[in-house]
Amino acid sequence: MAAAASTSSPLRVFRGILKELRALKGPQYRQTPAYNYVLDQFRKNQVSSERYCRAQTEALHSSHSYLCLLTSTRCHLTLHKLYHGKGQRDPEQVATLVGLRLPTQPGGKGWEK
């Protein structure tokens, strides 16, 4: 198994997060606090004098996790809407499916107010 998140460059992760934010919010994604914060963090962590900067790798891993969170919640929600979102039909609909109608009881049922 590959070692840490070295397989994805910071630029790719950053672009991915921006794409997710744009997909979620639409054209106003630049005004969200998330956009400003992510931009800020990536800029701050860009410059580092050490060759192996621990803070940089940590920040990269966290941003990779955040990208994974955004992508997977979106995909999960899409799949949920596609397959599990419909819920149940109410009894009137079920009755009309088979061509029947529900009985009406003038005066209401015993437990209805």
Buried b (16+ CB within 10 A) or exposed e, 30-53: eeeebbeebeeebeebeeeeeeee
Does residue 13 belong to the site contacting another protein (CB under 8 A)? no
Does residue 2 belong to the site contacting another protein (CB under 8 A)? yes
For another protein, what does the binding mask look like between residues 64 and 83, x meaning CB under 8 A? xxx-xx--xx-xxx-xx-xx
How far is it, in rounded angstroms, from Cα 64 to Cα 70?
Answer: 10
Looking at residues 41 to 60 of the shown chain, list those that interact with another protein (rule: CB under 8 A). Answer: 41, 44, 49, 55, 57-58
Q: Name the one residue in this structure whose structure tokens are 């996790």.
A: 65
Looking at residues 16 to 45 of the shown chain, list those that interact with another protein (rule: CB under 8 A). Answer: 21, 24-25, 32-34, 37, 41, 44
Give the shortest CB-99-to-another protein separation in angstroms.
19
Cα angle 56, 57, 61; round to 5? 120
Does residue 9 belong to the site contacting another protein (CB under 8 A)? no
Looking at residues 82 to 101 of the shown chain, list those that interact with another protein (rule: CB under 8 A). Answer: 82-84, 87-88, 90-91
Q: C-alpha distances in angstroms, 100 versus 46, 68, 91?
A: 68, 49, 11
CA 5 to chain centre: 21
Does residue 5 belong to the site contacting another protein (CB under 8 A)? yes
Residues that bind another protein (rule: CB under 8 A) add up to a total of: 42
